[in-house]
Structure 1
Amino acid sequence: MIRDALAALRARRGRTVLAALGVLAASLVVGTSVTVGYSLATGFQRSAEQAQLPDVIARFPERRLSEIDARVSALPNLATRSYRFERLNQELAADGHFTRKGAVTTVFEGRRGYKVVDGRDVRDGSTGDVVIERGLAREWDLHVGDELSVQRRGLLRVSGIAVSPDNVAYPLASAARVYIAEAEHRRSPPPNVALLWLADPDKADVTLAQARAVTFGLGKLQFITRTGVEILLSQAAGIVISLLVAFSLVALVAAGTMLAASAHADVQRRLTGLGVQRALGFGPGRIAAQQAVEAVLLAVPAAVVGIALGALVVAGPSAQLIAALNELGPGVALLGPLALSAAAVVAIVVAAATWPAWRAARRPPVEILRGGDLARTPQRAARLPHGLLALGVRFATAARARWLAAVATIAVCAGVVTLMLALASLLERLREDPGTVGKRYQLAVQLAPERIPEARRLDGVADVGERYSIDAADSFRLGEPIRLVAYPGDHTRFENPPLAEGRRIRGPDEVEVGVGMADALGLRPGSTLAAQVPDGGEIRFRVAGVVRALENDGRIAWIRPDKLLETRPDLSPQVVVRLDSNADPAQVTRALVGLGAQLQPVGAAQTDNAAFLAVLAAVLRGVGLAVGLVCLYALIQALTVTARERRGAVALLRATGADAPTISLVLAGAAIAVAVPAAIAGVALELLVFGPAVSRLAASFASLPLGASNGQIALVFAGLLALSALATVLVARRVMREPIIAGLREE
């Protein structure tokens, strides 16, 4: 059977190559999607395990090691611990580079909480060495053996380069982290950071509750768990990564659809040949098995090559993106998902090729031989205009099943491309527009309270308010970090996230919580939220409503400031300014500075770091290139098959004097018959399926505007028409090179 399958594939070499290219093109999308999606989706957990990231990180004022260790060692559920002395805003310099944002961390004996990826760690008891984070090494082009000037320590030799996934890498994070040994100090410094590894991480709440009790009197104490670290990382790039992972999943499903449609169309083209086999006595089972073997022989090499090429296309940008997030790449672990993807591609091709062949083979041979997949002429056929373009449309739509398969393939491609354009637009808005996280104000400043009335009277200012914000924890689940935001009066004047359930707050005892917080803590309207405020005790609120908020992964709540200020009277507000629609922000900013205001950044939903954004663009370009190649292939395939099956008609046109432009017009009509409905269907797919799906996958706790704009839709139509023109030119050249007599023999 294998010998027969190989002979059949060789006999129709042109179609075999065309089908293999289709599998390769779709596999290219699969390879890029799996590489990006798997690398990013598993990056934090993989890095946390390899770096032995602690389950809890505690920060406190400097204390003697013996005093701190006596309290920490008494905690329940504690497996082991280690300590650090962290000094911020230190000067670092090397090879012409300089920063005053260095975070110099002295590590004590015990686990480090980071992974050395190049060189070696600092040695306890030795001096002169420093371990630097990978982001600093990449940005400053430092290597093991280079020298780094550290404030108070002088020149130190770089002994190792490390990854610590408790924060994003420099310069995405403003602080550049370096690690030195305790021996660098003349006297052992008092620790101000404790790293705790728990015997049972699921019982972190018990440990944290006891920790707050035994550490009473230490002053300002802050805890952060692994969950909290993930949320902090999301403030830098989490939503972007979620969007890329969700996009990769959608592209993966799209590639599967393309494969199924392409394989099904290939079988439809061969129905006449299947009828001949049935007439010669071959049973349906034998024909289906033969088709399955042919599909395997064709799909395996094409899938392996396509997935490998796809992985290579985005390997570099994906690695840079992971490095910017201070995470570790999957390495050889990626081979498993890629191998499963190759197997899935082969399975889809085999199923899509075997099932229609088996169904067709069960029909009587005469019925199969009566015209293959050509559409039967309906009693009331649609009246098409006359002309060369209309002739091309008839050529393309005569084989109805193949035409639908081509339209479906290109529609999915167009939908993915439209989604990419909408995603790029959203990323830009997430970077620049605070409105994407529900903020209606444009400026934030530090301003003396007595000057606020003057600020309200400035030209271009619509409203001015005081905004209090503090990171807290749920009292019942101390490992769950939350953010409280308070405004005197109606907060919707400045922040107006859409209401998902319940109503707005009306008094100081009520709270609106984000969907992310509601899901994590099991809250709903009428529930009680108990928040543990740092250095302030506990405050409780009744949940009035649940809102869709993007900030802080949706783990955010809006309250009135009364209870918060009773607990933390030292909390000072940020002054936020909402501008008139026609106001000049620069002019208003100058006026505020004239009142003594100090400008503060208004947080959007992602970083504006140029290097990070460039890496994101490279990743999207890699996936976009793969999808574009699939679009071009599908159009060329549709035109090539149309020209092949209409060789006689095309040859007859040429024999009667048709030149290259005339034949091109016919083929252009065939291309338009596929491209235009595919573009319409693709835009509909993005608006109705792909966009909402990515929004839910990336951030189920918020509303993400992923609908394409009119300009983006026009760009997709123009792009498909351009690809149609290119495919028409390529196929027309091939048709014109064929001898006329060869085509006339088929008439």
Structure 2
Amino acid sequence: MRATLRWAHSDLRAHRGEALFIVLATAGIVASLLLATALFGYATNPWQRVFTQSHGAHVWLHTARSADTGRLASLDGVESVTSAYLTEAVTVSSRGTRASVELRGTPSRPTVGRPLLASGRWPDAREPDGVVLEARLARALLAEPGDTLTLPGTTRTLTVVGVAESAEPRYRPGEQPGLAWAQPAAVRDPGGRVIGLRLTDPDDTGYAVQRAVTVLGAGAVGEVSTWQQARAEAQGDNRLLGQVLGLFGLGALIAAGLAVHGAIGTRIRGHLRDISVLKAIGFTPGQVVRIFLLQHVAYAVLGAAAAAVLTQSLGARIPGRLGDAVGVWQGLPGHPVTLFAVPVGAVLFIGAVTGLAAWRAGRVPPVPVPRPAAPPAGRLMGVARRALGLGLPPALVLGWHKVVTGRVRTLATVGRLALPLLLMVVAMSAWTTIDRFHSRPEELGLPTALTVRADGGLNDGDARVLLARERGVDAVYPGVEVAALVPGQTATIALRGLGTREDPYPYALAEGRRADGPDEAVAGQGLLDLLGVRVGDWVRMTVGDQPQILHIVGRSIEPENAGRVISTSLDTLRENDPGLRPTLYQLRLSPGADRDSVARSLLTAGGGHLDVHAVTNPADGLSPLRAVVAGLICVLALIGLIELLTAVGGTIRESERDLLALKAIGLSPRQITAITVTATSCTALAAVVAGTAVGLPLAHWLVDAQGRSSGLGTGIAAVPSPLLLLLFAAAAVAGAAALSALPATRAAHRRLADTLSAVA
């Protein structure tokens, strides 16, 4: 053991730079994985971010006004409670849109369940009618600070002074009322109280609710909502995002592991002569294996520990979203486990790959095997000789020749470098797909921007005339949407009749054709999967007590109702029910028209008889993915940088023997440097080509697979533009060339005596 430690210490003193590189490489990879974990958690679980930042309550109890809520604070397991806020159930209207609202009298921003203001401010006592709306409710009402809400049937009005995010259950039309916080004076007819409990042990929520109900009395508690219910609802909207980011995380981990394996393998290959000396003086193969294993595991532990300490202490200070993500991640329940598991997992992985490389080192013979004067791959190929004969620069030809004749090692380097580049291509494809939803929604099942419903004050003809003459409206498609039972009555689907045969609705078709004839329809992927049918089949469903049999002639991209939608023309539905009248109108706007301006104008022109809603774009829920994609590209770039540094070091070490020959034939140090730079650039170019060639179809398959699983169906994937891919390739090759220039210049200017000692 003493000899082992002495050799390790001697090796450390002789190769400080390489040891520092291993430590920094490990620290960089572990830090990247920790930051990626924080970023994934921040993006895939926005509800947890809001809950943590708002110091959310684990339980909300709606009670009668007479309930003695003060006794809840003394219950075991209750950390803190909110005040008992008076509540009033009201209906508000804004621009013709109505919503049920729980008006909550909150004199000041609470410390538990504190709403996070996204815009505006909190109302003060001088504004008895000022309210702060929950963000989803504000979007449904098309309301923003400064707008006025009316209470239908009364003369009361409320003024929106702010919009806030909350971790409580969000507004769902017809199911869950929205939240509006106001001064107690605004709650004129309170129907009860609501109180929030924050628990010391969130896993004990069920028992805590039982005790609270027992203390207050079952008759005094009207409704209970828990943090698990709110989280489950919120996370359901981010399922796709979580799956995509989880895949990226796994790919980054594999790429990081391969980069470390390449770095360690290259270092051991550079110490073959030292290993032979060790065996010659009496070291056993087991001792040699232990030397390298313990040495590199020690480097890995040092780097992983440094990364964990730096991330924990300084991560939250990083400017921008990444610092916010780390700060939120540090407050999540699983943070300590992750902070320990990621570095330990990295160290174990590095130990495993080091063990494989060290086992190879243990098989090195005690007497060094003389290297051949000219390896078979070292002779110039015919193509290289002809290129030199044509007058091409020798540095370019010899650099390309070194890459081509490297075979196995070159392929391994290209493969390790291609993996992070491949993941970058997939990340850019995800970004491009999101942009496609925003820039060309008509190609992804969103040809219209507004949905309008008219009440009994307007008949169908008048409504169409009013909508069609509105400036900015390009087309009006009348329709109906009803719930239908599938065969066996085991599930409910949406049956839509939109447009007419003369003016058909512009569905985005991914398969088949338009529904032009009688009884023809198009269906979403979710419906096809639910019924186990394909395009060309006939399906039977029931609407009320009326059967409806339709022939599916196409598959449309359906962002709504998880794709469980079957659509036909309004004329087809009228064949079964001649008295059927449109209940909604889908509006396609003119290019450049402002959706909100058109909605406001229609509400004014409708005189209170129109209800206008914006069509929801599913890409709005994937907005956090943009920042995450940028963060992932930075993480993958760091992993690629580590692999490039390893490749450059290995190329320079293996080229030391050729330095004398290159100088002997008259090449200048600048030309010798250009050979190494060219070899590195060609390797990077090959990796970019391989990563792009595999990454583009992989990205297309992954996005379409996610679309199919979510009910959207295939056909939504978009690949980056050729210009962007060209810039990406140019940046990778230029970065590789710049990275290799300095070490190659140093090697080319080495003294002849140093070179002789290195190759002896």
**TM-score, normalised via structure 1 length:** 0.66
Match of 1:205 in 2: none
Question: Given the alignment, which residue of 678, 683, 688 partners 1:669?
Answer: 678
- The amino acid that maps onto 1:377 is A
What displacement does 1:16 show? 2.2
- Kept after mapping to 1: 8 A contact 2:481/2:495: yes
Match of 2:71 in 1: none
Q: Deviations over 1:473-526 (max 9, x none)?
A: 999999x986554325679852234359x99898769883433x666x675568
What displacement does 1:725 show? 2.7
* Structure 1, 379-388 or 428-437: larger mean CA deviation: 379-388
Secondary structure of the corresponding residue to residue 85 of structure 1: strand
Q: 1:489 to 1:700 in 2, by over 3 A?
A: same
- Kept after mapping to 2: 8 A contact 1:650/1:743: yes
What displacement does 1:167 show? 3.6
- The amino acid that maps onto 1:661 is R
What displacement does 1:624 show? 2.3
- The amino acid that maps onto 2:498 is Y
Match of 2:701 in 1: 692
Match of 2:25 in 1: 22
Give the distance between the partners of 1:55 and 1:540, measured in 2 at CA.
44
Secondary structure of the corresponding residue to residue 717 of structure 2: coil
- Kept after mapping to 2: 8 A contact 1:513/1:545: no
Give the distance between the partners of 2:180 and 2:244, measured in 1 at CA.
31
* Residue 725 (str. 1) matches residue 726 (str. 2): no
* Residue 85 (str. 1) matches residue 91 (str. 2): no
Q: Number of residue pairs matched?
A: 645
Match of 2:254 in 1: 253
Question: Given the alignment, which residue of 94, 98, 105 partners 2:102?
Answer: 105
- The amino acid that maps onto 2:25 is G
Match of 1:151 in 2: 129
What displacement does 1:443 show? 7.6
- The amino acid that maps onto 1:105 is E
Question: Given the alignment, which residue of 612, 630, 633 partners 2:642?
Answer: 633
What displacement does 1:407 show? 1.7
What displacement does 1:570 show? 7.9
Match of 1:681 in 2: 690
Spell out the pairing of 1:313-712 with structure 2 (5 A cutoff): 317=321, 331=332, 333-359=334-360, 361-362=362-363, 369=369, 371=371, 377=377, 383-384=383-384, 385-386=387-388, 387-395=394-402, 400-435=407-442, 437-440=444-447, 449-450=460-461, 465-469=477-481, 484-487=495-498, 493-499=505-511, 512-515=523-526, 524=533, 549=557, 551-552=559-560, 554-560=562-568, 562=573, 572-577=583-588, 601-607=614-620, 617-650=626-659, 653=662, 659=668, 661-693=670-702, 696=705, 700-701=709-710, 702-703=713-714, 704-712=716-724
Give the distance between the partners of 1:695 and 1:315, measured in 2 at CA.
35
Secondary structure of the corresponding residue to residue 331 of structure 1: coil
Question: Given the alignment, which residue of 137, 147, 159 partners 2:117?
Answer: 137
Q: 1:455 to 1:569 in 2, by over 3 A?
A: closer
Give the distance between the partners of 2:574 and 2:644, measured in 1 at CA.
65
* Structure 1, 630-639 or 648-657: larger mean CA deviation: 648-657
Give the distance between the partners of 2:57 and 2:554, measured in 1 at CA.
36
What displacement does 1:410 show? 2.0
Secondary structure of the corresponding residue to residue 369 of structure 1: coil
Secondary structure of the corresponding residue to residue 559 of structure 1: strand
What displacement does 1:664 show? 3.2
- Kept after mapping to 2: 8 A contact 1:134/1:162: no
- Kept after mapping to 2: 8 A contact 1:240/1:606: no
Q: Deviations over 1:373-429 (max 9, x none)?
A: x97539996743441123234445665554333322321222122223222222222
Unmatched segments (≥5 aa) in structure 1: 58-63, 67-81, 92-99, 108-121, 170-174, 193-198, 202-222
**TM-score, normalised via structure 2 length:** 0.65
What displacement does 1:328 show? 8.8
- The amino acid that maps onto 1:405 is A
Q: Name the Cα RMSD after superposition.
A: 6.1
Give the distance between the partners of 2:630 and 2:678, measured in 1 at CA.
30
What displacement does 1:557 show? 0.8
- Kept after mapping to 1: 8 A contact 2:279/2:366: yes
Match of 2:148 in 1: none
- Kept after mapping to 1: 8 A contact 2:398/2:675: yes
What displacement does 1:355 show? 1.5
Give the distance between the partners of 2:736 and 2:86, measured in 1 at CA.
64
Give the distance between the partners of 2:758 and 2:379, measured in 1 at CA.
28
- The amino acid that maps onto 2:566 is W
Higher RCO (C-alpha 8 Å, min separation 6): 1
- Kept after mapping to 1: 8 A contact 2:101/2:179: yes
Q: 1:233 to 1:26 in 2, by over 3 A?
A: closer
- Kept after mapping to 2: 8 A contact 1:467/1:576: no
What displacement does 1:684 show? 2.0
- Kept after mapping to 2: 8 A contact 1:90/1:151: no
Give the distance between the partners of 2:582 and 2:228, measured in 1 at CA.
27
* Structure 1, 568-577 or 453-462: larger mean CA deviation: 453-462
Match of 1:110 in 2: none
Secondary structure of the corresponding residue to residue 618 of structure 2: coil
What displacement does 1:678 show? 0.7
What displacement does 1:699 show? 6.2
Q: Deviations over 1:526-558 (max 9, x none)?
A: 898979x9xx89988789599574614734312
Q: Deviations over 1:82-127 (max 9, x none)?
A: 9963446589xxxxxxxx99996345xxxxxxxxxxxxxx8xxxx7
Give the distance between the partners of 1:567 and 1:444, measured in 2 at CA.
24
Q: Deviations over 1:241-275 (max 9, x none)?
A: 65444433433333333333433444444445445
What displacement does 1:574 show? 1.6
Q: Deviations over 1:679-704 (max 9, x none)?
A: 11111231233553365357633334
What displacement does 1:645 show? 3.4
What displacement does 1:369 show? 3.5
Q: Deviations over 1:183-218 (max 9, x none)?
A: 9645433899xxxxxx999xxxxxxxxxxxxxxxxx
* Residue 163 (str. 1) matches residue 166 (str. 2): yes
Q: Deviations over 1:687-734 (max 9, x none)?
A: 233553365357633334143332222122111122023113332453
Secondary structure of the corresponding residue to residue 253 of structure 2: helix
- The amino acid that maps onto 1:344 is G
What displacement does 1:165 show? 4.8
Secondary structure of the corresponding residue to residue 551 of structure 1: coil
- The amino acid that maps onto 2:166 is V
- The amino acid that maps onto 1:724 is A
What displacement does 1:293 show? 1.6
Give the distance between the partners of 1:231 and 1:541, measured in 2 at CA.
34
Q: 1:178 to 1:321 in 2, by over 3 A?
A: farther
Q: 1:243 to 1:268 in 2, by over 3 A?
A: same
- Kept after mapping to 2: 8 A contact 1:643/1:650: no
- The amino acid that maps onto 1:413 is P
Give the distance between the partners of 1:688 and 1:162, measured in 2 at CA.
39
- Kept after mapping to 2: 8 A contact 1:246/1:698: no
* Structure 1, 253-262 or 408-417: larger mean CA deviation: 253-262
Give the distance between the partners of 2:375 and 2:93, measured in 1 at CA.
76
- The amino acid that maps onto 1:137 is L
- The amino acid that maps onto 2:14 is A
Q: 1:569 to 1:46 in 2, by over 3 A?
A: farther
- The amino acid that maps onto 1:18 is F
* Structure 1, 665-674 or 737-746: larger mean CA deviation: 737-746
What displacement does 1:666 show? 1.6
